[in-house]
Protein backbone atom coordinates (compact mmCIF):
# COMPACT_ATOMS: atom_id res chain seq x y z
CA UNK A 1 0.00 0.00 0.00
CA UNK A 2 1.52 3.37 -1.00
CA UNK A 3 2.11 6.01 1.64
CA UNK A 4 -0.55 8.68 1.98
CA UNK A 5 0.50 12.01 0.48
CA UNK A 6 -0.86 15.43 1.41
CA UNK A 7 -0.68 17.70 -1.64
CA UNK A 8 -1.16 21.44 -1.13
CA UNK A 9 -1.12 24.04 -3.90
CA UNK A 10 -0.03 27.60 -3.23
CA UNK A 11 -0.23 30.54 -5.60
CA UNK A 12 0.67 34.18 -5.85
CA UNK A 13 0.37 36.52 -8.80
CA UNK A 14 1.81 39.76 -10.05
CA UNK A 15 -0.25 41.63 -12.64
CA UNK A 16 0.57 44.34 -15.17
CA UNK A 17 4.24 43.41 -15.63
CA UNK A 18 5.82 45.58 -18.32
CA UNK A 19 7.33 43.58 -21.22
CA UNK A 20 10.68 45.36 -20.77
CA UNK A 21 10.77 44.04 -17.20
CA UNK A 22 9.75 40.59 -18.38
CA UNK A 23 12.59 40.33 -20.90
CA UNK A 24 15.23 41.90 -18.64
CA UNK A 25 16.24 38.89 -16.52
CA UNK A 26 17.68 40.74 -13.51
CA UNK A 27 14.76 43.18 -13.33
CA UNK A 28 12.28 40.32 -13.69
CA UNK A 29 13.87 38.48 -10.79
CA UNK A 30 14.16 41.53 -8.53
CA UNK A 31 10.77 43.11 -9.34
CA UNK A 32 8.59 40.03 -9.87
CA UNK A 33 10.07 36.72 -8.71
CA UNK A 34 11.67 38.06 -5.52
CA UNK A 35 8.53 39.75 -4.15
CA UNK A 36 6.34 36.76 -5.09
CA UNK A 37 8.69 34.36 -3.31
CA UNK A 38 8.79 36.63 -0.24
CA UNK A 39 4.98 36.49 -0.03
CA UNK A 40 4.65 32.75 -0.51
CA UNK A 41 7.55 31.76 1.78
CA UNK A 42 5.63 33.04 4.82
CA UNK A 43 2.84 30.53 4.18
CA UNK A 44 5.25 27.72 3.24
CA UNK A 45 7.11 28.18 6.52
CA UNK A 46 3.85 28.01 8.49
CA UNK A 47 2.69 24.83 6.71
CA UNK A 48 6.03 23.02 6.75
CA UNK A 49 6.02 19.68 8.54
CA UNK A 50 9.33 19.05 10.29
CA UNK A 51 10.96 15.80 9.22
CA UNK A 52 8.10 14.87 6.88
CA UNK A 53 10.26 14.71 3.74
CA UNK A 54 8.33 17.46 2.02
CA UNK A 55 9.18 17.96 -1.67
CA UNK A 56 8.31 21.07 -3.64
CA UNK A 57 7.53 21.62 -7.31
CA UNK A 58 7.74 25.19 -8.57
CA UNK A 59 6.08 26.19 -11.84
CA UNK A 60 6.39 29.51 -13.60
CA UNK A 61 3.44 30.44 -15.80
CA UNK A 62 3.28 33.67 -17.77
CA UNK A 63 -0.20 34.62 -19.00
CA UNK A 64 -0.44 37.26 -21.73
CA UNK A 65 -3.76 39.11 -21.95
CA UNK A 66 -4.47 41.33 -24.93
CA UNK A 67 -7.58 43.44 -25.39
CA UNK A 68 -8.85 42.23 -28.77
CA UNK A 69 -10.78 45.47 -29.36
CA UNK A 70 -7.56 47.51 -29.26
CA UNK A 71 -5.80 45.50 -32.01
CA UNK A 72 -5.99 47.26 -35.38
Confidence of residue 5 (pLDDT cuts 50, 70, 90): confident
Domain count, the chain: 1
Task: Quote the domain boundaries for residue 40.
Answer: 19-70
pLDDT surpassing 70 at residue 72: no
pTM for this structure?
Answer: 0.70
pLDDT, tens digit (0-9, with 9 covering 90-100), for 41-67? 998 888 877 767 788 888 999 999 888
Q: Determine the length of the chain.
A: 72
Does residue 62 lie within any of the structural domains? yes
Query: Is 80 exceeded by the pLDDT of residue 19?
Result: yes
Amino acid sequence: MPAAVEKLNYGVSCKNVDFRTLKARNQFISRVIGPLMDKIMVVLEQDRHEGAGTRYTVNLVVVAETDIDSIQ
